[in-house]
Amino acid sequence: MKTIILALTGASGLPYAMRLLECLLQSGQRVHLVYSQAAQIVAKQELNFVLPNRPQDAEEILAERLGEVSGKLRVFGRDDWFAPMASGSNPGDAMVICPCTMGTLAAVAAGLSDDLITRAADVMLKEKRPLILVPRETPFSAIHLENMLKLSHAGTVILPPNPGFYYHPQSVQDLVDFVVAKILDHLDVEHKLVRRWGE
Q: What is the pLDDT of residue 91?
A: 87
This prediction's pTM: 0.96
pLDDT attached to residue 49:
93
Distance CA 4, CA 129 (A): 11
Contact between 80 and 95 (Cβ < 8 Å): no
Give the per-residue pLDDT at 195.
84
Return the domain boundaries, the chain: 3-186
Residue 132: per-residue pLDDT? 98
Euclidean distance between CA atoms 100 and 118, whole angstroms: 11
pLDDT by residue for the chain (199 residues), tens digit each?
899 999 999 999 999 999 999 999 999 999 999 999 999 999 999 999 999 999 999 999 998 888 877 779 999 999 999 999 999 999 899 999 999 999 999 999 999 999 999 999 999 999 999 999 999 999 999 999 999 999 999 999 999 999 999 989 999 999 999 999 999 999 999 999 988 887 7
Q: What is the pLDDT, as a whole number, of residue 196?
A: 84
Which 8-state DSSP code applies to residue 67?
-
Task: Quick: pLDDT tens for 8-20.
Answer: 999 999 999 999 9
Distance CA 133, CA 194 (A): 21
- Buried (b) or exposed (e) across 183-199, using 16+ Cβ within 10 A? bbeebebebebbeeeee
Question: Pick from 128, 125, 123, 118: which is nearest to 91 by CA?
Answer: 123
Which class is 3-186 in CATH?
Answer: alpha beta
What pLDDT is recorded for position 197? 84
